[in-house]
């Protein structure tokens, strides 16, 4: 076969050079599945934020007057269940103050009383009479379509977690804490946690979603707390039901996307508002952030003065 001419070779080289120097065709970039999932979460959170009503920046004038009167009343005393708040306790809700056990336990009692009242009223409306403040339907699951209304909730006080972790179920006699309560008939159990008298966080046993949950406004997960609650469920179920607890389908959950505080003293308010949101079936993102703290402190004073919580957010 004849050898290619120099002209032919030059033409081939020129065509190759033009190909190399021409713009590259567009190749679309596809985001990874993890990046797409993150973008979807951010989009959903933004939609949720826009759809949910925003909290007001201040109380109505007549409510603000009640708050000022309560704060100036040296003989102030509010009671809910076995909890009470004095004038000195109430002052912890002034700006930049760290909340104490009395405020958090009292707020938990208000949440519990609201849930019990709603449960009784719902039972009467549905012609399912309640027994000892609890509907006979309490063992049945409720749909998630009633988000915003109070769930069936039990709240342990601020001493529960330290007793569980330091002494254990048996030595702390935690079975006595639920002699008249069946936590397994609840939708949710809430546990405010005092971490070394320096920080408040919130744990939850979510029976509806089969999750052991933990929320920290400083963004730190503590798996040991969830493990302690798993041990508690095992012991409590054996004590009350005489059988092992079925953990099939249960997962651990850390609310890493929960609202975060920007100072060292608002953690107690974050915990109270986290419990308030969870007790109405509100999932993340919650309806408050750091910017709402001033308003929420004033509103908590109003709610404690009234000794009750509204059925829905004002």
Listed residue (202, 214, 210, 208) closest to 245, CA to CA: 210
State how beta strands 130-131 and 188-195 pair: unpaired
Enumerate the β-bridge partners of residue 200. 194
Listed residue (112, 57, 102, 120) closest to 276, CA to CA: 112
The angle formed by the CA atoms of residues 117, 229 and 92, to the nearest 5 degrees, is 60
* SS3 of the chain: helix, strand, coil, percent, to 5: 45, 15, 40
State how beta strands 188-195 and 153-155 pair: parallel
Active-site residue flag, 101: no
Q: Catalytic residue among 199, 202, 266, 272, which? A: 199
Please tell me whether the peptide bond between 285 and the residue prior to it is cis, using omega within 30 degrees of 0: yes
On the 0-12 / 13-18 / 19+ scale of CB atoms within 10 A, 27 is exposed
Q: Find the farthest-apart pair of alpha carbons in the chain and give their distance in angstroms, rounded.
A: 115
Q: What is the dihedral of CA 33, 210, 169, 173, to 10 degrees?
A: 150
Active-site residue flag, 216: yes
Active-site residue flag, 187: no
* Cβ contact 61:300 at 8 Å: no
Task: State the CB neighbour count (10 A cutoff) for residue 296.
Answer: 19
Distance CA 57, CA 128 (A): 40
Q: Catalytic residue among 89, 216, 266, 287, which? A: 216
Q: Which residues participate in catalysis according to the annotation?
A: 199, 216, 267
């Amino acid at each position: 076969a004849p050898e290619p001419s120099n002209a032919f070779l030059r033409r081939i080289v020129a065509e190759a050079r033009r190909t190399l120097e021409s713009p590259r065709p567009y190749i679309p970039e596809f985001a990874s599945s993890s990046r797409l999932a993150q973008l979807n979460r951010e989009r959903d959170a933004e939609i949720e934020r826009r759809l949910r009503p925003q909290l007001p920046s201040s109380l109505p004038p007549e409510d603000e007057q009640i708050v000022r009167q309560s704060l100036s009343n040296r003989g102030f005393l509010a009671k809910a269940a076995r909890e009470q708040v004095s004038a000195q306790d109430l002052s912890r809700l002034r700006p930049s103050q760290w909340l104490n056990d009395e405020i958090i336990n009292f707020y938990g009692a208000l949440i519990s009383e609201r849930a019990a009242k709603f449960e009784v009223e719902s039972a009467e409306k549905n012609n399912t009479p309640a027994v000892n403040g609890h509907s006979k339907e309490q063992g049945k699951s409720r749909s998630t379509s009633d988000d915003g209304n109070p769930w069936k909730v039990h709240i342990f006080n601020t001493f529960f977690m330290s007793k569980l972790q330091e002494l254990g179920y048996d030595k702390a006699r935690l079975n006595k804490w639920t002699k008249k309560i069946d936590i397994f008939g609840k939708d949710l159990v809430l546990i405010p946690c005092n971490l070394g008298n320096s920080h408040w966080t919130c744990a939850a046993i979510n029976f509806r979603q089969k999750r052991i949950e933990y929320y920290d406004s400083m963004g730190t997960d503590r798996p040991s707390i969830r493990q302690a609650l798993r041990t508690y469920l095992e012991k409590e179920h054996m004590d009350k039901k005489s059988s092992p607890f079925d953990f099939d389908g249960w997962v651990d959950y850390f609310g890493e996307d929960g609202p975060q505080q920007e100072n060292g003293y608002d953690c107690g308010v974050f915990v109270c508002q986290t419990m308030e949101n969870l007790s109405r079936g509100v999932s993340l993102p919650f309806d408050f952030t750091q910017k709402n703290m001033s308003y929420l402190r004033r509103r908590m004073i109003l709610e404690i003065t009234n000794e009750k919580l509204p059925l829905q957010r004002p």
